[in-house]
Amino acid sequence: MWRRRLGAILLRSPPSSSSPAASSCQRSRHHLLPTEEPLALNRLARLFTSQAGSDGDGGHSQKPFIAFVLGGPGSGKGTQCTKIASDFGFAHLSAGDLLRHEIASGSEKGELILDIIKQGRIVPSEITVELIRKAMEMSNANKVLIDGFPRCEENRVAFERIVGTEPDIVIFFDCPEDEMVKRLLGRNQTIKKRLKVFESLNIPVVDYYSSRGKVHKINATGTADEIFEAVRRIFSSLRF
C-alpha cells in the first residue's frame, strides 16, 4: 500500500515551480533550484525500490505510523517526545535538530539555515522535508514522531506531496503564550518573532488537521509528568 501509493506519486510529472510547495511560507527569496525537486523524488524512488525486496530481511516496506508533534516554542514538544519515544518505542525526529545538524556540518545549505533560524523564520520546505525524509529512511522505524514540523501550510503540502502520505495523528501541545515565554526566557532572543510565526503560520496547520479529525489537543500546562499522563492516555489507545 505504502509502496503502491508512493509509486503513483512518483509517476506524477515533476511539479512546476508554480506549485504550492515551490513557494516558501514567508515568500522567502531563498529557494533551491527547481531541478532539486525531481532529484529528491529520484532518491525517494530508489529508497522504496531498494526496500521492495526487504520484506524478509528486516526492512520496513510498510508505511510507518507517523505522528506530527506540534505546539509553540517552549510548549514542551521535545520534552514530551523524549518520553513518548522511550515508553512507546517511537523514533524521535526533531526537525529543529536536523536543521541544526546541517548547520554544524558546515555546508552551504547550513549557512542559509542558520540565517533563517536566527531570524525566527521558517526554512524552505525542500530543505526540511529532504532532511526528514532521509532521517526516516535511516531510522527504518515503523513508528515515527516528527517533532516541530510542519511549521506552516506550505511545509505540510510539501511533506504530503514528496513523502506521499499524511500523518496518522497530530499531537498539539496547547500552551498559553506567557507560559511559553516564561519557559524560554533568557534562552531565546527570537522568542517574540517565533511566537508570531507560530500563531500566523503554524496554527493553520493544526486547524487543517483538526478538520480531518487527526488532532489530539493536549493542555501543555503543569509539570512535564502531568502532561505526559495525558499523552500516555492517547498513545495507549492507539493501534499501530
Ligand X SMILES: Nc1ncnc2c1ncn2[C@@H]1O[C@H](COP(=O)(O)OP(=O)(O)O)[C@@H](O)[C@H]1O
Binding footprint of ligand X on the chain (CB under 6 A): 71, 73-79, 183, 223-224, 227
Q: Binding pattern to ligand UDP, positions 193-212, x when CB under 6 A? A: -x------------------
The CB-of-142 to ligand UDP minimum distance in angstroms stands at 22
Among 54-62, 146-154, 160-168, 225-233, the segment contacting ligand UDP (CB under 6 A): 146-154
Handedness of CA 98, 162, 91, 201 (dihedral sign): positive
The one of ligand UDP, ligand X, Mg ion, none whose footprint includes residue 194, by CB under 5 to 8 A per kind, is ligand UDP
Lookup result for grid cell 510498510: 62
How far apart are the C-alpha atoms of 166 and 208, rounded to whole Å?
A: 12
The CB-of-63 to Mg ion minimum distance in angstroms stands at 25
Among 84, 122, 141, 170, binds ligand UDP (CB under 6 A): 122
How far apart are the C-alpha atoms of 207 and 60, rounded to whole Å?
A: 31
Tell the burial category of 168 from Cβ atoms under 10 Å away from its Cβ (0-12, 13-18, 19+): middle
Q: Which amino acid is residue 2, in one-letter code?
A: W
How far apart are the C-alpha atoms of 183 and 195, rounded to whole Å?
A: 13
- DSSP letter, residue 67: E
Give, as ranges, the residues between 155 and 194 that touch ligand UDP (CB under 6 A).
194
Confirm or reject binding of residue 190 to Mg ion (CB under 5 A): no
Q: Do 143 and 217 meet the contact criterion of CB atoms below 8 Å apart?
A: no
Among 31-39, 72-80, 122-130, 195-203, the segment contacting Mg ion (CB under 5 A): 72-80
The one of ligand X, ligand UDP, Mg ion, none whose footprint includes residue 149, by CB under 5 to 8 A per kind, is ligand UDP
